[in-house]
Amino acid sequence: MRYFIITLALGLGALRLASAPNPATIRFENIATKAGVKFITRNSPTPNKNQIETMVAGVALLDYDGDGWLDIYLVNGAAIPSLQKESPDYWNRLYRNNHDGTFTDVTERAGVAGAGYGMGVAVGDYDNDGRPDIFLANVTGNQLFHNNGDGTFTDVSKAAGVNDPNGYYGMSVIFSDFNNTGRPDIYVANDSTPKFLYKNLGNGKFQEIGLESGTAVSEDGSEQASMGLAVGDYLHNGRPSLFVTNFSDEYGNLFRNDGAWNFSDVSYKSGVALPSLPYVKWGTTFFDADNDGWLDLIVVGGHVYPQVDSLPSGARYQEPKVLELNQKDGTFCDASEQAGPALRIPRVSRGLAAGDLFNDGNVDIVVEDLTGEPMILRNSGVPGRHWVSFELQGTSSNRLAIGARIGIVADGMTQTEEIHSGGSYLSQNDLRVHFGLNTATRIDSVTIRWPSGKMETLKNLDADKFYSVLEGHGTVSPEKIRPAAPVAANDKNK
């Protein structure tokens, strides 16, 4: 009977792939070397095989200089046993986008090399000045870099009280409004223990409801070694669902949001479980790979033990990536083989972030590996598919509009998305909100629920454009939502 069930499941998976729209036009090319990103992750492996050596590190996509183009920040390890960045080889690196498909290393000038053994990164605006600041989760104490607005950052960790002198370990976490209450809830992926879902009660307190909501353990009640997570409305029902990455022989969990704080584990039913089973899974995100208006899913992996390569069969240290295309009926098909050889080259990958690096309307992927160079997977796009992108700035809300929810209607299709800080595995996606539109050339309506609770509606927007939206003022020029460079003290006195 067990053999029959496995065979049937594999057969259904093959059927889904065969019935998928031709994915041959979806191509990802690794252009890291061509783009001038010459970063090397240094995890300092030792004979002791310390746990931290297996986990580094995350990546962030952010527009640090406000020029409208995404830059790349890559986190690095440190020397062992000192856990310090003893040479520039261990620096975290910031690469500025040159607007021509290449990037320039500006780490030293920007002052963001970091200190200690790095792990994760998130982007926010802690002082609400409209500029993205960088928060680092390190083994040796956290760091907060304040964006000065002149291309440089200042380490304000101790002054802000977030330096974490005890050096506790952190894993993946994300804020999202899971029940459309207007309040951000918190989901935490835990390693080998039940996952947490903190329901925002609206009075400054949270209630942990992981088990009763159905998001703490797998469908059969097993605790899993969870690493990364993604949030997205892959069903167009207006409710964000959850995807969680786990260890090998533990399938990735797709928790469908059924509303009223109830989730269902639909991993096998949706087709995402089987392709993920063999791999140790880390970074992940929902994104519209082919601009058809439906969220797809990507997962990167790599084992923690190089010794598995000595086994006669089974898991391997280097593992390929998995791209799952949304079939618009609650299921996904594995299109990894059809999306270009870059996805199937085995590597030891960890962090992943998504964003439109080249402002061409296609969402690209940046992956940081445990050892070696990162991957910049440029998305070639699908001819004839349209898109739209929104960059928001709050007035009553926080300036980066983190927590804002956007809903669009185009050609009868309704989509929703939310601006998140954090997610994936120790990483940060583009804060701009991207929607694929398939063949639609206009957006009929856009509804924004700002973090302040205000609602705003826009009408009849053209496709294939980037829109800047200022809370209470509708669409504005990009300059209106990007703060001016600070005036130096000596200039003020002139």
The pLDDT of residue 180: 64
What are the pLDDT digits (tens) for 449-478? 998 899 999 999 999 999 999 999 999 999
The pLDDT of residue 105: 98
Q: Which of 425, 424, 420, 459 is nearest to 443 (CA)?
A: 459
**Most confidently modeled range among 2-6, 23-27, 300-304, 484-488:** 300-304
What are the pLDDT digits (tens) for 256-307? 999 987 889 999 999 999 988 888 889 999 999 999 999 999 999 999 888 8
What are the pLDDT digits (tens) for 386-400? 999 999 999 998 889
For the chain, percent of residues with pLDDT exceeding 90 = 57
What are the pLDDT digits (tens) for 354-413? 999 999 999 999 999 998 899 999 999 999 999 999 999 999 988 899 889 999 999 999
What are the pLDDT digits (tens) for 56-88? 889 999 999 999 999 999 999 999 999 999 999
pLDDT tops 60 at residue 489? no
The pLDDT of residue 175: 58
Mean pLDDT throughout 25-52? 90
Range name among 94-108, 225-239, 396-410 with the lowest pLDDT average:
225-239
Binned at pLDDT 50, 70 and 90, residue 352 comes out as: very high
Which residues are 324's β-sheet partners?
A: 297, 334
- Cα(157)–Cα(169) distance, rounded to whole angstroms? 17
Burial 359-392 (b: 16+ CB within 10 A, else e): eebbbbbbbbbbbebbbbbbbebbeebbbbbbbb
- Cα(225)–Cα(392) distance, rounded to whole angstroms? 36
**What Å distances lie between residue 271 and 113, 342, 363, CA to CA?**
41, 23, 23
- Give just the sign of the alpha carbon dihedral 421, 423, 424, 427: positive
Let me know the angle formed at the C-alpha of 237 by 236 and 238, rounded to the nearest 5 degrees.
95
Average pLDDT, the chain: 85
The pLDDT of residue 490: 46
Torsion of CA 250, 9, 255, 301, to 10 degrees: 40
pLDDT tops 70 at residue 206? no
Binned at pLDDT 50, 70 and 90, residue 434 comes out as: very high
pLDDT tops 60 at residue 223? no
Binned at pLDDT 50, 70 and 90, residue 314 comes out as: confident
Q: In which order are the strands placed within the sheet that holds 332-334?
A: 281-287, 296-301, 322-326, 332-334
What tokens does 383 get?
Answer: 């001819």
pLDDT tops 80 at residue 485? no
- Report yes or no: 374 and 59 within 8 Å, Cβ to Cβ: yes
The pLDDT of residue 11: 41
- Give just the sign of the alpha carbon dihedral 119, 123, 127, 129: positive
- Cα(369)–Cα(55) distance, rounded to whole angstroms? 10
The pLDDT of residue 143: 85
Tell me, letter by letter, the H, E, C secondary structure of the chain.
Answer: CHHHHHHHHHHHHHHHHHCCCCHHHCCEEECCCCCCCCCCECCCCCCCCCHHHHCCCCEEEECCCCCCCCEEEECCCCCCCCCCCCCHHHCCEEEEECCCCCEEECHHHHCCCCCCCEEEEEEECCCCCCCCEEEEEECCCCEEEEECCCCCEEECHHHHCCCCCCCCCCCCEEEECCCCCCCCEEEECCECCCCEEEEECCCCCEEECHHHHCCCCCCCCCCCECCCEEEECCCCCCCCEEEECCCCCCCCEEEEEEECCEEEECHHHHCCHHHHCCCCEEEEEEECCCCCCCCEEEEEECCCCHHHHHCCCCCCCCECCEEEEECCCCCEEECCHHHCHHHHCCECEEEEEEECCCCCCCCEEEEEECCECCEEEEECCCCCCEEEEEEEECCCCCCCCCCCEEEEEECCEEEEEECCCECECCCECCCCEEEEEECCCEEEEEEEECCCCCEEEEEEEECCEEEEEECCCEEECHHHHCCCCCCCHHHHCC
For the chain, percent of residues with pLDDT exceeding 70 = 82
What are the pLDDT digits (tens) for 144-189? 899 999 999 999 888 877 665 555 444 555 555 666 666 666 665 5
